[in-house]
Structure 1
Amino acid sequence: MQEIKPLIAYINHFVVMSPEEEFILSQHVTVRNYLKKQYVLQQGDICTHESFVIKGCLNTFFVNSEGDNFVGSFAVENWWVVDLESFINQTPADFNIQCLENCTLAQISRQNSQLLYEKIPKLERVFRMMLQQAFCFSQKRIVNNLSKAAKDRYLDFKNQFPEIERRVPQYLIASYLGITREFLSKIKAQTIFD
């Protein structure tokens, strides 16, 4: 149970679990280590787990038919990473999930998530609240991508996620922002003098 303490602490921000509930949770979570560059999920496979990041940094991206990569999101400690549609509907994943660093993940299978909802009903509230926050963030990102200049999107990213900016290669940040690596370099150079 020691190795999932960060997950328990995360859940306890939303609801308070009893020691018995914490034990039940620990029986339905698998902790797995991944190496840098290793895939947690590959596009086209079925997403069988939702993963809580105990340690490390990951990248969620898809590759189009021309072979171009598009970053959808990043995940660091105390964040979740999953191809949600694939996980819920058990359909082929649209996204790849790849480790940018060596990672330790607490993973809950689809079957175990359903069992946990039955055994610890308050977990449904936790995951509902997480999904609401994720949906709000996704909507805000769409609005920002459609209405803000690239420089403003970069400054927002830098202010909101300073740790990610330090840990993630610049070409991935450029992809996340929907700009080229060269344009991101120009923006960064401009912001030094602003």
Structure 2
Amino acid sequence: MKEKEQLAEYLRRYEKLSFSEIDYFFNLTQKRKFSKSEFLLEAGKTCKHQYFILSGLTRVFHIDHKGNEKITQFAVENWWLTNWDSYKGETPSKSYIQALENTTVLQIGKAELENAFLKVPILERIFRKITENWLIAIQKHSEFYLNMDSKSRYDQFISTLPNFSQRVPQYMIASYLEVTPQHLSTIRSKGIS
């Protein structure tokens, strides 16, 4: 089964897992397909799953007090995704998770994941490492915004995620980089900051 092999390859980047441990974990997940523009999570609803993206592309965003969308994250194949605050606190989400392409995920609920940690303790270590990497990415993202001008942020974004510029509309990249679409167009065409 292709999905199980993809998940196994990803998890084994962190720790060695036996075939039976992979089977057990895979069987706790549910495959879901989301059409382009469909929401995995809407603001006001509680996030009940973590998602492993098999194929596709998603964005996480919220609506600010002026009614503007603010994109805080993109996620692609072989990335885990959730709304941590809502998921852990079992509270309504303030953000949306939306498919930007037809997207297929493996989703796992909180209770199933906690049971998996008890039955296969190495999974808890794997998810701790995944979470640590996620936190490092957030820290780098924050430093990235504090220390770089808009041109440098764009250059960093493109060098880190080169295929995004073909997959994500420019106005969404502008939102993520916290610049106007017009300014991003200028950056791209003239290379100014």
TM bracket, shorter-chain basis: over 0.9
Q: Deviations 1:153-188 (Å, cap 9, x if unpaired)?
A: 000000000012220000000000000000000000
Q: How far 1:54 sits from its partner (Å)? A: 0.2
State how far apart, in whole Å, the 2-side matches of 1:182 and 1:108 are.
40
Q: How far 1:66 sits from its partner (Å)? A: 2.5
Aligned to 1:22: 22
Equivalent positions of 1:77-96 (< 5 A) are 77-96=77-96
Aligned to 2:144: 144
Question: Aligned-residue CA RMSD in angstroms?
Answer: 1.2
**Structure 1 gaps, min length 5:** none
State how far apart, in whole Å, the 2-side matches of 1:94 and 1:28 are.
27
| 3-state secondary structure, aligned to 2:23 | helix
Equivalent positions of 1:10-159 (< 5 A) are 10-159=10-159
| 3-state secondary structure, aligned to 2:166 | helix
Aligned length: 192
Contact 1:4-1:31 within 8 A present in 2 as well: no
State how far apart, in whole Å, the 1-side matches of 2:28 and 2:82 are.
17
Q: Does 1:182 align with 2:187?
A: no
State how far apart, in whole Å, the 1-side matches of 2:106 and 2:188 are.
35
| 3-state secondary structure, aligned to 1:71 | strand
State how far apart, in whole Å, the 1-side matches of 2:190 and 2:124 are.
46
State how far apart, in whole Å, the 1-side matches of 2:58 and 2:160 are.
17
Contact 1:41-1:96 within 8 A present in 2 as well: yes
Q: Deviations 1:95-129 (Å, cap 9, x if unpaired)?
A: 10000000100101111110110111101111111
State how far apart, in whole Å, the 2-side matches of 1:133 and 1:52 are.
15
Q: How far 1:131 sits from its partner (Å)? A: 1.1
Which consecutive segments of 4 or more residues in structure 1 shift more than 3 A? none
**Structure 2 gaps, min length 5:** none
State how far apart, in whole Å, the 2-side matches of 1:136 and 1:190 are.
32
TM-score by length of structure 2 reads 0.96
Counterpart amino acid of 1:63?
I
Q: Does 1:164 align with 2:161?
A: no
Q: How far 1:5 sits from its partner (Å)? A: 2.0
Q: Deviations 1:22-55 (Å, cap 9, x if unpaired)?
A: 1111220001111000000001110000001000
